Amino acid sequence: VKDGSWTVLQLVEALGSCLENTDPRTRGRGIQLLSQVLLQCYSLLQEKEVLHLVLFYENRLQDHHLVIPSVLQGLRALSMCEVLSPGLAVSVLKAIFQEVHVQSLLQLDRHTVYSIITNFMGTREEELKGLGADFTFGFIQVMDGEKDPRNLLVAFQIVRDLIAKNYALGPFVEELFEVTSCYFPIDFTPPPNDPHGIQREDLILSLRAVLASTTQFAEFLLPLLIEKLDSELQSAKLDSLQTLTACCAIYGQKELQEFLPSLWSSLRREVFQTASEKVEAECLSALHALSACLSRSVLSSDTEDLLDSFLSSILQDCRHHLCEPDMKLVWPSAKLLQAAASASLRAYHRLTSSVLPLLLEQYTKHPQSSQRRTILEMLLGFLELQQKWGRMEEDESVLLSLQAPVCSVVFSALTDPSAQLQLVGIRALTVLGSLQGFLSPSDLELVVDHLIRLALREEDSQSSEAAMEAAGSLAPIYPKVFSGRMVPRLQEELQSGWWLPFLEARGRPCLVLATSLSVSTHTSIVGETIPVLLQHLRKVQKGNAARGRQ
Protein backbone atom coordinates (compact mmCIF):
# COMPACT_ATOMS: atom_id res chain seq x y z
CA VAL A 1 0.00 0.00 0.00
CA LYS A 2 2.82 2.43 0.86
CA ASP A 3 4.55 1.73 -2.47
CA GLY A 4 1.30 2.32 -4.35
CA SER A 5 1.21 -1.15 -5.88
CA TRP A 6 -1.92 -1.93 -3.87
CA THR A 7 -4.82 0.25 -2.75
CA VAL A 8 -6.44 -0.21 0.63
CA LEU A 9 -9.68 -1.22 -1.04
CA GLN A 10 -7.81 -3.98 -2.91
CA LEU A 11 -6.46 -5.13 0.45
CA VAL A 12 -10.02 -5.26 1.81
CA GLU A 13 -11.02 -7.35 -1.20
CA ALA A 14 -8.07 -9.72 -0.70
CA LEU A 15 -8.98 -10.11 2.99
CA GLY A 16 -12.57 -10.88 2.06
CA SER A 17 -12.56 -14.52 3.19
CA CYS A 18 -11.16 -13.52 6.59
CA LEU A 19 -13.46 -10.54 7.06
CA GLU A 20 -16.54 -12.65 6.25
CA ASN A 21 -15.48 -15.78 8.14
CA THR A 22 -18.02 -17.20 10.57
CA ASP A 23 -15.37 -17.56 13.31
CA PRO A 24 -15.13 -14.25 15.21
CA ARG A 25 -11.43 -14.84 15.97
CA THR A 26 -10.64 -15.17 12.29
CA ARG A 27 -12.70 -12.06 11.46
CA GLY A 28 -10.88 -10.27 14.28
CA ARG A 29 -7.45 -11.16 12.84
CA GLY A 30 -8.49 -9.90 9.41
CA ILE A 31 -9.76 -6.58 10.77
CA GLN A 32 -6.66 -6.32 12.99
CA LEU A 33 -4.38 -6.59 9.93
CA LEU A 34 -6.42 -4.03 8.02
CA SER A 35 -6.40 -1.62 10.98
CA GLN A 36 -2.62 -1.95 11.41
CA VAL A 37 -2.19 -1.04 7.73
CA LEU A 38 -4.50 1.96 8.11
CA LEU A 39 -2.59 3.22 11.16
CA GLN A 40 0.54 3.41 8.98
CA CYS A 41 -1.10 4.58 5.74
CA TYR A 42 -4.07 6.81 6.73
CA SER A 43 -2.42 9.88 5.19
CA LEU A 44 -2.33 8.17 1.76
CA LEU A 45 -6.08 7.48 1.59
CA GLN A 46 -8.42 9.15 -0.91
CA GLU A 47 -11.72 10.66 0.18
CA LYS A 48 -13.75 7.90 -1.52
CA GLU A 49 -11.67 5.19 0.17
CA VAL A 50 -12.20 6.81 3.56
CA LEU A 51 -15.96 6.90 2.97
CA HIS A 52 -16.13 3.18 2.19
CA LEU A 53 -13.87 2.26 5.09
CA VAL A 54 -15.89 4.33 7.58
CA LEU A 55 -19.11 2.61 6.49
CA PHE A 56 -17.41 -0.80 6.76
CA TYR A 57 -16.02 -0.15 10.24
CA GLU A 58 -19.26 1.41 11.55
CA ASN A 59 -21.07 -1.75 10.49
CA ARG A 60 -18.48 -3.88 12.28
CA LEU A 61 -19.22 -2.12 15.60
CA GLN A 62 -22.22 -4.45 15.79
CA ASP A 63 -19.96 -7.50 15.47
CA HIS A 64 -18.79 -9.95 18.15
CA HIS A 65 -17.06 -8.39 21.19
CA LEU A 66 -13.76 -10.07 20.24
CA VAL A 67 -13.69 -7.99 17.04
CA ILE A 68 -14.43 -4.59 18.62
CA PRO A 69 -10.86 -3.68 19.75
CA SER A 70 -9.52 -4.02 16.17
CA VAL A 71 -12.53 -2.10 14.78
CA LEU A 72 -11.78 0.77 17.16
CA GLN A 73 -8.11 0.84 16.07
CA GLY A 74 -9.27 1.20 12.46
CA LEU A 75 -11.64 4.03 13.36
CA ARG A 76 -8.80 5.74 15.25
CA ALA A 77 -6.72 5.66 12.05
CA LEU A 78 -9.63 7.06 10.01
CA SER A 79 -10.22 9.82 12.60
CA MET A 80 -6.79 11.18 11.68
CA CYS A 81 -7.57 11.44 7.94
CA GLU A 82 -7.66 14.97 6.56
CA VAL A 83 -9.91 13.91 3.64
CA LEU A 84 -12.75 12.78 5.90
CA SER A 85 -16.01 13.86 4.27
CA PRO A 86 -18.33 16.23 6.18
CA GLY A 87 -20.73 14.31 8.39
CA LEU A 88 -18.57 11.20 8.80
CA ALA A 89 -17.13 12.26 12.17
CA VAL A 90 -20.64 12.66 13.57
CA SER A 91 -21.65 9.35 12.04
CA VAL A 92 -18.71 7.50 13.64
CA LEU A 93 -19.31 8.97 17.10
CA LYS A 94 -23.04 8.26 16.96
CA ALA A 95 -22.24 4.66 16.07
CA ILE A 96 -19.78 4.33 18.97
CA PHE A 97 -22.19 5.94 21.44
CA GLN A 98 -24.99 3.65 20.28
CA GLU A 99 -23.22 0.33 19.70
CA VAL A 100 -20.27 0.17 22.13
CA HIS A 101 -20.46 -0.27 25.90
CA VAL A 102 -17.11 1.44 26.40
CA GLN A 103 -16.57 0.71 30.08
CA SER A 104 -16.79 -3.05 29.44
CA LEU A 105 -13.69 -2.80 27.22
CA LEU A 106 -10.06 -3.21 28.29
CA GLN A 107 -8.03 -0.11 29.27
CA LEU A 108 -6.25 0.19 25.92
CA ASP A 109 -9.49 -0.09 23.95
CA ARG A 110 -11.19 2.54 26.12
CA HIS A 111 -8.17 4.79 25.53
CA THR A 112 -8.69 4.26 21.79
CA VAL A 113 -12.27 5.59 22.08
CA TYR A 114 -11.04 8.71 23.94
CA SER A 115 -8.41 9.20 21.22
CA ILE A 116 -11.07 9.06 18.48
CA ILE A 117 -13.17 11.68 20.31
CA THR A 118 -10.09 13.87 20.90
CA ASN A 119 -9.07 13.68 17.22
CA PHE A 120 -12.52 14.67 15.99
CA MET A 121 -12.79 17.53 18.53
CA GLY A 122 -9.50 18.86 17.20
CA THR A 123 -10.45 18.77 13.51
CA ARG A 124 -14.28 18.63 13.24
CA GLU A 125 -15.38 20.99 16.00
CA GLU A 126 -18.27 22.65 14.15
CA GLU A 127 -19.64 19.32 12.97
CA LEU A 128 -19.66 17.92 16.50
CA LYS A 129 -21.28 21.07 17.86
CA GLY A 130 -24.07 20.40 15.38
CA LEU A 131 -25.01 17.43 17.55
CA GLY A 132 -25.88 19.84 20.35
CA ALA A 133 -26.14 18.39 23.86
CA ASP A 134 -26.36 14.86 22.42
CA PHE A 135 -22.58 14.88 21.98
CA THR A 136 -22.09 15.82 25.65
CA PHE A 137 -24.51 13.11 26.76
CA GLY A 138 -22.79 10.52 24.56
CA PHE A 139 -19.42 11.37 26.07
CA ILE A 140 -20.85 11.17 29.62
CA GLN A 141 -21.94 7.60 28.85
CA VAL A 142 -18.49 6.77 27.49
CA MET A 143 -16.65 8.13 30.56
CA ASP A 144 -19.04 6.99 33.28
CA GLY A 145 -17.23 4.50 35.52
CA GLU A 146 -13.70 5.06 34.15
CA LYS A 147 -11.04 4.03 36.67
CA ASP A 148 -7.69 3.91 34.89
CA PRO A 149 -5.52 7.02 35.55
CA ARG A 150 -4.12 6.96 32.00
CA ASN A 151 -7.62 7.21 30.58
CA LEU A 152 -8.79 9.72 33.17
CA LEU A 153 -6.13 12.24 32.15
CA VAL A 154 -7.46 12.11 28.57
CA ALA A 155 -11.11 12.15 29.68
CA PHE A 156 -10.55 15.18 31.94
CA GLN A 157 -8.94 17.02 29.02
CA ILE A 158 -11.99 16.25 26.85
CA VAL A 159 -14.30 17.73 29.51
CA ARG A 160 -12.12 20.83 29.73
CA ASP A 161 -12.36 21.23 25.95
CA LEU A 162 -16.13 20.73 26.01
CA ILE A 163 -16.40 23.65 28.42
CA ALA A 164 -13.63 25.89 27.08
CA LYS A 165 -14.82 25.58 23.46
CA ASN A 166 -18.47 26.16 24.37
CA TYR A 167 -19.95 22.85 23.36
CA ALA A 168 -23.64 22.64 24.32
CA LEU A 169 -24.09 21.05 27.73
CA GLY A 170 -27.88 21.44 27.62
CA PRO A 171 -29.70 19.72 30.48
CA PHE A 172 -26.63 17.58 31.26
CA VAL A 173 -24.59 20.06 33.34
CA GLU A 174 -25.18 18.18 36.58
CA GLU A 175 -24.51 14.80 34.91
CA LEU A 176 -21.21 16.10 33.50
CA PHE A 177 -20.29 17.42 36.93
CA GLU A 178 -21.18 14.11 38.59
CA VAL A 179 -19.21 12.00 36.13
CA THR A 180 -16.05 14.03 36.89
CA SER A 181 -16.51 15.11 40.53
CA CYS A 182 -16.93 11.51 41.66
CA TYR A 183 -13.11 11.32 41.54
CA PHE A 184 -12.73 14.26 43.95
CA PRO A 185 -10.59 14.29 45.96
CA ILE A 186 -8.13 12.17 43.99
CA ASP A 187 -7.05 9.07 45.88
CA PHE A 188 -4.30 7.52 43.79
CA THR A 189 -0.91 6.12 44.66
CA PRO A 190 1.16 5.08 41.64
CA PRO A 191 2.41 1.50 41.87
CA PRO A 192 6.15 0.91 42.39
CA ASN A 193 8.19 1.12 39.19
CA ASP A 194 5.17 2.43 37.29
CA PRO A 195 6.27 2.63 33.62
CA HIS A 196 3.58 5.20 32.78
CA GLY A 197 4.92 7.87 35.15
CA ILE A 198 1.50 9.24 36.09
CA GLN A 199 1.63 10.98 39.47
CA ARG A 200 -1.19 11.78 41.87
CA GLU A 201 -0.49 15.48 41.36
CA ASP A 202 -1.10 15.11 37.59
CA LEU A 203 -4.61 13.80 38.25
CA ILE A 204 -5.31 16.41 40.94
CA LEU A 205 -4.39 19.33 38.69
CA SER A 206 -6.22 17.89 35.69
CA LEU A 207 -9.44 17.34 37.66
CA ARG A 208 -9.16 20.76 39.32
CA ALA A 209 -8.89 22.38 35.90
CA VAL A 210 -12.23 20.74 35.02
CA LEU A 211 -14.07 21.59 38.25
CA ALA A 212 -12.88 25.21 38.24
CA SER A 213 -13.50 25.79 34.54
CA THR A 214 -17.13 26.97 34.58
CA THR A 215 -19.56 28.82 36.81
CA GLN A 216 -22.22 26.30 35.78
CA PHE A 217 -20.71 23.80 38.24
CA ALA A 218 -20.81 26.21 41.21
CA GLU A 219 -24.12 25.11 42.76
CA PHE A 220 -22.89 21.50 42.81
CA LEU A 221 -19.21 22.05 43.53
CA LEU A 222 -19.32 24.46 46.48
CA PRO A 223 -21.36 22.11 48.72
CA LEU A 224 -18.93 19.32 47.81
CA LEU A 225 -15.93 21.46 48.79
CA ILE A 226 -17.57 22.42 52.11
CA GLU A 227 -18.26 18.74 52.80
CA LYS A 228 -14.66 17.71 52.03
CA LEU A 229 -13.31 20.49 54.27
CA ASP A 230 -14.88 18.59 57.17
CA SER A 231 -12.88 15.50 56.23
CA GLU A 232 -10.32 14.03 58.61
CA LEU A 233 -7.91 13.63 55.68
CA GLN A 234 -5.48 16.52 55.33
CA SER A 235 -5.05 15.80 51.61
CA ALA A 236 -8.82 16.22 51.09
CA LYS A 237 -8.78 19.54 52.95
CA LEU A 238 -5.85 20.85 50.92
CA ASP A 239 -7.37 19.78 47.61
CA SER A 240 -10.70 21.38 48.53
CA LEU A 241 -9.06 24.66 49.55
CA GLN A 242 -6.89 24.85 46.44
CA THR A 243 -9.91 24.09 44.23
CA LEU A 244 -11.95 26.82 45.97
CA THR A 245 -9.13 29.30 45.36
CA ALA A 246 -9.04 28.32 41.67
CA CYS A 247 -12.83 28.71 41.36
CA CYS A 248 -12.74 32.26 42.77
CA ALA A 249 -10.86 33.36 39.65
CA ILE A 250 -14.05 32.95 37.58
CA TYR A 251 -16.88 33.12 40.15
CA GLY A 252 -18.85 36.21 41.10
CA GLN A 253 -21.33 37.24 43.80
CA LYS A 254 -24.11 35.22 42.17
CA GLU A 255 -22.25 31.92 42.49
CA LEU A 256 -20.92 32.54 46.01
CA GLN A 257 -23.80 34.27 47.78
CA GLU A 258 -25.65 31.21 49.08
CA PHE A 259 -22.50 29.50 50.35
CA LEU A 260 -20.52 32.36 51.91
CA PRO A 261 -21.60 31.75 55.54
CA SER A 262 -20.69 28.05 55.34
CA LEU A 263 -17.41 28.76 53.55
CA TRP A 264 -16.39 31.34 56.15
CA SER A 265 -17.37 29.01 58.98
CA SER A 266 -15.21 26.21 57.55
CA LEU A 267 -12.21 28.46 56.88
CA ARG A 268 -12.39 30.03 60.35
CA ARG A 269 -12.66 26.61 62.01
CA GLU A 270 -9.65 25.26 60.15
CA VAL A 271 -7.41 28.27 60.92
CA PHE A 272 -8.47 28.33 64.58
CA GLN A 273 -8.06 24.60 65.13
CA THR A 274 -5.54 23.16 62.68
CA ALA A 275 -2.07 22.10 63.67
CA SER A 276 -1.00 22.04 60.04
CA GLU A 277 0.81 25.03 58.58
CA LYS A 278 -0.11 23.82 55.08
CA VAL A 279 -3.83 23.79 55.83
CA GLU A 280 -3.61 27.21 57.48
CA ALA A 281 -1.76 28.69 54.50
CA GLU A 282 -4.30 27.28 52.01
CA CYS A 283 -7.20 28.57 54.15
CA LEU A 284 -5.70 32.06 54.11
CA SER A 285 -5.19 31.86 50.33
CA ALA A 286 -8.81 30.79 49.86
CA LEU A 287 -10.07 33.62 52.08
CA HIS A 288 -7.97 36.09 50.11
CA ALA A 289 -9.43 34.70 46.87
CA LEU A 290 -13.01 34.97 48.18
CA SER A 291 -12.46 38.57 49.27
CA ALA A 292 -10.87 39.42 45.91
CA CYS A 293 -13.73 37.75 44.04
CA LEU A 294 -16.37 39.76 45.95
CA SER A 295 -14.31 42.93 45.46
CA ARG A 296 -14.42 42.49 41.66
CA SER A 297 -18.19 42.12 41.49
CA VAL A 298 -20.02 45.05 39.92
CA LEU A 299 -22.89 46.21 42.12
CA SER A 300 -26.21 47.49 40.89
CA SER A 301 -28.40 49.77 42.98
CA ASP A 302 -30.70 46.95 44.11
CA THR A 303 -28.07 44.32 45.04
CA GLU A 304 -26.54 43.74 48.44
CA ASP A 305 -22.87 44.54 48.87
CA LEU A 306 -21.76 41.02 49.70
CA LEU A 307 -18.17 42.11 50.31
CA ASP A 308 -19.28 44.40 53.11
CA SER A 309 -21.44 41.76 54.80
CA PHE A 310 -18.72 39.11 54.35
CA LEU A 311 -16.06 41.34 55.93
CA SER A 312 -18.49 42.21 58.74
CA SER A 313 -18.76 38.50 59.56
CA ILE A 314 -14.97 38.21 59.65
CA LEU A 315 -14.69 41.24 61.95
CA GLN A 316 -17.41 39.93 64.24
CA ASP A 317 -15.65 36.60 64.71
CA CYS A 318 -12.03 37.83 64.87
CA ARG A 319 -11.87 41.39 66.20
CA HIS A 320 -12.33 40.58 69.90
CA HIS A 321 -9.46 38.08 69.85
CA LEU A 322 -7.04 40.93 69.04
CA CYS A 323 -7.67 42.24 72.56
CA GLU A 324 -6.11 39.09 74.05
CA PRO A 325 -2.42 39.19 72.97
CA ASP A 326 -1.52 36.31 75.31
CA MET A 327 -4.20 33.94 74.01
CA LYS A 328 -3.74 31.37 71.25
CA LEU A 329 -6.40 32.77 68.89
CA VAL A 330 -4.84 36.22 68.57
CA TRP A 331 -2.54 35.30 65.66
CA PRO A 332 -5.04 33.14 63.76
CA SER A 333 -7.50 36.03 63.96
CA ALA A 334 -4.93 38.56 62.77
CA LYS A 335 -3.92 36.32 59.86
CA LEU A 336 -7.55 35.88 58.76
CA LEU A 337 -8.15 39.64 58.87
CA GLN A 338 -4.94 40.36 56.95
CA ALA A 339 -5.73 37.72 54.31
CA ALA A 340 -9.12 39.29 53.63
CA ALA A 341 -7.73 42.85 53.77
CA SER A 342 -4.96 42.09 51.27
CA ALA A 343 -7.45 41.23 48.51
CA SER A 344 -8.40 44.77 47.47
CA LEU A 345 -8.13 48.39 48.50
CA ARG A 346 -11.84 48.39 49.35
CA ALA A 347 -11.45 45.37 51.65
CA TYR A 348 -8.36 46.96 53.22
CA HIS A 349 -10.19 50.21 54.03
CA ARG A 350 -13.21 48.36 55.39
CA LEU A 351 -11.19 46.21 57.80
CA THR A 352 -8.46 48.64 58.85
CA SER A 353 -11.00 51.33 59.76
CA SER A 354 -12.04 48.95 62.55
CA VAL A 355 -8.83 47.09 63.33
CA LEU A 356 -6.13 49.82 63.38
CA PRO A 357 -7.76 52.01 66.07
CA LEU A 358 -8.33 48.87 68.16
CA LEU A 359 -4.68 47.79 67.93
CA LEU A 360 -3.44 51.26 68.85
CA GLU A 361 -5.75 51.26 71.87
CA GLN A 362 -4.60 47.79 72.91
CA TYR A 363 -0.93 48.80 72.68
CA THR A 364 -1.57 51.54 75.21
CA LYS A 365 -3.62 49.25 77.47
CA HIS A 366 -1.01 46.48 77.67
CA PRO A 367 2.23 47.61 79.38
CA GLN A 368 4.22 44.38 79.06
CA SER A 369 6.85 44.35 76.30
CA SER A 370 5.90 40.84 75.13
CA GLN A 371 2.24 41.86 74.72
CA ARG A 372 3.21 45.08 72.97
CA ARG A 373 5.45 43.16 70.62
CA THR A 374 2.54 40.91 69.58
CA ILE A 375 0.26 43.92 69.06
CA LEU A 376 2.89 45.85 67.11
CA GLU A 377 3.60 42.82 64.89
CA MET A 378 -0.11 42.64 64.03
CA LEU A 379 -0.13 46.37 63.32
CA LEU A 380 2.97 45.92 61.16
CA GLY A 381 1.14 43.30 59.08
CA PHE A 382 -1.56 45.83 58.21
CA LEU A 383 1.02 48.57 57.56
CA GLU A 384 2.81 46.30 55.07
CA LEU A 385 -0.47 45.76 53.20
CA GLN A 386 -0.76 49.52 52.65
CA GLN A 387 2.45 49.32 50.60
CA LYS A 388 0.56 47.29 47.96
CA TRP A 389 -1.74 50.16 47.09
CA GLY A 390 0.85 52.88 46.49
CA ARG A 391 0.17 56.52 47.31
CA MET A 392 -2.41 57.15 50.02
CA GLU A 393 -5.36 59.42 49.24
CA GLU A 394 -6.23 61.73 52.12
CA ASP A 395 -9.97 61.27 51.79
CA GLU A 396 -9.72 57.45 51.85
CA SER A 397 -6.75 56.39 53.95
CA VAL A 398 -7.53 55.21 57.46
CA LEU A 399 -3.80 55.17 58.11
CA LEU A 400 -3.34 58.87 57.35
CA SER A 401 -6.05 59.76 59.84
CA LEU A 402 -4.15 57.81 62.50
CA GLN A 403 -0.71 59.23 61.67
CA ALA A 404 0.03 60.71 65.12
CA PRO A 405 -0.92 57.67 67.25
CA VAL A 406 0.78 55.24 64.83
CA CYS A 407 4.05 57.20 64.95
CA SER A 408 3.79 57.50 68.73
CA VAL A 409 3.42 53.72 69.13
CA VAL A 410 6.34 52.96 66.78
CA PHE A 411 8.64 55.55 68.39
CA SER A 412 7.81 54.21 71.86
CA ALA A 413 8.82 50.71 70.73
CA LEU A 414 12.22 52.06 69.63
CA THR A 415 12.96 53.28 73.17
CA ASP A 416 11.66 50.20 74.96
CA PRO A 417 14.21 48.18 76.96
CA SER A 418 13.14 45.00 75.12
CA ALA A 419 15.41 44.34 72.15
CA GLN A 420 12.74 42.16 70.54
CA LEU A 421 10.19 44.98 70.66
CA GLN A 422 12.82 47.37 69.25
CA LEU A 423 13.36 45.04 66.26
CA VAL A 424 9.65 45.05 65.44
CA GLY A 425 9.64 48.84 65.86
CA ILE A 426 12.53 49.19 63.38
CA ARG A 427 10.65 47.07 60.82
CA ALA A 428 7.54 49.19 61.32
CA LEU A 429 9.62 52.35 60.95
CA THR A 430 10.98 51.12 57.61
CA VAL A 431 7.46 50.46 56.34
CA LEU A 432 6.15 53.85 57.47
CA GLY A 433 9.09 55.54 55.77
CA SER A 434 8.26 53.76 52.51
CA LEU A 435 4.70 55.16 52.51
CA GLN A 436 4.94 58.34 50.51
CA GLY A 437 3.60 61.37 52.35
CA PHE A 438 2.99 59.62 55.67
CA LEU A 439 5.86 60.96 57.80
CA SER A 440 6.04 64.69 58.50
CA PRO A 441 9.40 66.55 58.34
CA SER A 442 9.66 66.52 62.14
CA ASP A 443 8.83 62.79 62.19
CA LEU A 444 11.59 62.16 59.65
CA GLU A 445 14.15 63.95 61.80
CA LEU A 446 13.07 61.84 64.75
CA VAL A 447 13.37 58.69 62.60
CA VAL A 448 16.98 59.53 61.70
CA ASP A 449 17.83 60.30 65.33
CA HIS A 450 16.42 56.97 66.48
CA LEU A 451 18.30 55.06 63.77
CA ILE A 452 21.62 56.75 64.65
CA ARG A 453 21.13 55.98 68.32
CA LEU A 454 20.22 52.35 67.68
CA ALA A 455 22.97 51.80 65.12
CA LEU A 456 25.76 53.35 67.23
CA ARG A 457 24.88 53.02 70.90
CA GLU A 458 22.93 49.83 71.41
CA GLU A 459 24.95 46.90 72.66
CA ASP A 460 22.52 44.43 71.10
CA SER A 461 24.01 43.61 67.69
CA GLN A 462 20.61 42.60 66.25
CA SER A 463 19.13 46.04 66.86
CA SER A 464 22.26 47.71 65.56
CA GLU A 465 22.28 45.72 62.33
CA ALA A 466 18.52 46.17 61.87
CA ALA A 467 18.88 49.93 62.32
CA MET A 468 21.67 50.07 59.72
CA GLU A 469 19.55 48.07 57.27
CA ALA A 470 16.59 50.39 57.86
CA ALA A 471 18.80 53.44 57.32
CA GLY A 472 20.05 51.93 54.06
CA SER A 473 16.46 51.42 52.89
CA LEU A 474 15.21 54.88 53.82
CA ALA A 475 18.26 56.96 52.83
CA PRO A 476 17.52 56.83 49.05
CA ILE A 477 13.93 57.95 49.75
CA TYR A 478 14.93 60.88 51.99
CA PRO A 479 18.52 61.74 50.95
CA LYS A 480 18.36 65.37 52.14
CA VAL A 481 17.29 64.42 55.66
CA PHE A 482 19.93 61.69 55.99
CA SER A 483 22.76 63.77 54.51
CA GLY A 484 21.76 66.80 56.59
CA ARG A 485 21.19 65.00 59.88
CA MET A 486 22.96 61.65 59.93
CA VAL A 487 26.21 62.33 58.03
CA PRO A 488 27.33 65.23 60.28
CA ARG A 489 26.62 63.07 63.32
CA LEU A 490 28.68 60.22 61.89
CA GLN A 491 31.51 62.63 61.11
CA GLU A 492 31.39 63.87 64.69
CA GLU A 493 31.51 60.28 66.00
CA LEU A 494 34.55 59.48 63.84
CA GLN A 495 36.42 62.56 65.00
CA SER A 496 35.70 61.84 68.67
CA GLY A 497 37.38 58.44 68.51
CA TRP A 498 35.18 57.11 71.35
CA TRP A 499 34.76 53.86 69.59
CA LEU A 500 38.43 52.82 69.27
CA PRO A 501 38.58 50.98 72.60
CA PHE A 502 35.18 49.46 71.77
CA LEU A 503 36.55 48.21 68.45
CA GLU A 504 39.59 46.66 70.04
CA ALA A 505 37.54 45.11 72.84
CA ARG A 506 34.82 43.60 70.65
CA GLY A 507 36.96 42.71 67.63
CA ARG A 508 34.37 43.57 64.95
CA PRO A 509 34.02 46.29 62.27
CA CYS A 510 33.45 49.71 63.67
CA LEU A 511 29.75 50.53 64.00
CA VAL A 512 30.33 54.05 62.80
CA LEU A 513 32.02 52.94 59.59
CA ALA A 514 29.37 50.28 59.02
CA THR A 515 26.59 52.83 59.50
CA SER A 516 28.31 55.25 57.12
CA LEU A 517 28.43 52.53 54.51
CA SER A 518 24.84 51.44 55.12
CA VAL A 519 23.41 54.90 54.40
CA SER A 520 25.56 55.40 51.29
CA THR A 521 22.72 54.24 49.05
CA HIS A 522 22.11 57.54 47.22
CA THR A 523 24.57 59.52 45.13
CA SER A 524 24.11 62.74 47.11
CA ILE A 525 24.88 60.91 50.38
CA VAL A 526 27.86 59.04 48.90
CA GLY A 527 29.28 62.41 47.91
CA GLU A 528 29.32 63.37 51.58
CA THR A 529 30.26 60.09 53.26
CA ILE A 530 33.27 59.26 51.06
CA PRO A 531 35.29 62.37 52.04
CA VAL A 532 34.51 61.67 55.71
CA LEU A 533 35.68 58.05 55.41
CA LEU A 534 38.83 59.04 53.49
CA GLN A 535 39.70 61.64 56.08
CA HIS A 536 39.30 59.03 58.82
CA LEU A 537 41.44 56.46 56.98
CA ARG A 538 44.25 59.01 56.61
CA LYS A 539 44.18 59.61 60.36
CA VAL A 540 44.26 55.89 61.09
CA GLN A 541 47.17 55.44 58.65
CA LYS A 542 49.13 58.26 60.28
CA GLY A 543 48.42 56.77 63.71
CA ASN A 544 49.68 53.37 62.61
CA ALA A 545 52.82 54.89 61.10
CA ALA A 546 53.53 56.81 64.32
CA ARG A 547 53.13 53.66 66.43
CA GLY A 548 55.47 51.83 64.03
CA ARG A 549 58.24 54.41 64.55
CA GLN A 550 57.86 54.11 68.29
Rounded to whole angstroms, the Cα distance separating 22 from 28 reads 11
Quick check: 462 pLDDT over 50?
A: yes
Q: Which of 374, 407, 438 is the endpoint of a domain?
A: 438
Out of 38-47, 360-369, 486-495, pick the least confident.
486-495
DSSP string for residues in 463-488: HHHHHHHHHHHHTTTSHHHIIIIIHH
Q: Which of 387, 422, 438 is the endpoint of a domain?
A: 438
Task: Give tens-digit pLDDT for 33-73.
Answer: 999 999 999 999 999 999 999 999 999 999 999 999 999 99
Identify whether residues 393 and 494 lie together within a single domain: no
Sequence-ordered list of residues with C-beta below 8 angstroms from that of 446, at least 6 positions apart, any chain: 411
**With bands split at pLDDT 50, 70 and 90, how would you rate the model's confidence at 512?**
low
Sequence-ordered list of residues with C-beta below 8 angstroms from that of 412, at least 6 positions apart, any chain: 425
Rounded to whole angstroms, the Cα distance separating 435 from 439 reads 8
Identify whether residues 225 and 283 lie together within a single domain: yes
Task: Give tens-digit pLDDT for 204-238.
Answer: 999 999 999 999 999 999 999 999 999 989 999 99
63 in a structural domain: no
Identify whether residues 430 and 447 lie together within a single domain: no
Identify whether residues 291 and 354 lie together within a single domain: no
395 in a structural domain: yes
**With bands split at pLDDT 50, 70 and 90, how would you rate the model's confidence at 468?**
confident
406 in a structural domain: yes
Q: Cβ(457)–Cβ(496) under 8 Å? A: no
429 in a structural domain: yes
Identify whether residues 539 and 450 lie together within a single domain: yes
Identify whether residues 447 and 416 lie together within a single domain: no
Out of 217-226, 362-371, 507-516, pick the least confident.
507-516
282 in a structural domain: yes
Instruction: List Cβ<8 Å contacts ≥24 apart for 388-394.
Output: 388/342, 389/345, 389/348, 390/436, 391/436, 391/437, 392/435, 392/436, 392/437, 392/438
Peptide bond into 479 cis (omega under 30): no
Structural domain including 223 reads 215-296
**With bands split at pLDDT 50, 70 and 90, how would you rate the model's confidence at 330?**
very high
Identify whether residues 434 and 446 lie together within a single domain: no
Identify whether residues 406 and 451 lie together within a single domain: no
Identify whether residues 469 and 382 lie together within a single domain: no
Quick check: 307 pLDDT over 50?
A: yes
Number of structural domains, the chain? 3
Distances (CA, A) of 365 to 302, 381, 511, 517: 43, 20, 36, 40
Identify whether residues 257 and 267 lie together within a single domain: yes
Identify whether residues 451 and 525 lie together within a single domain: yes
Identify whether residues 480 and 545 lie together within a single domain: yes
143 in a structural domain: no
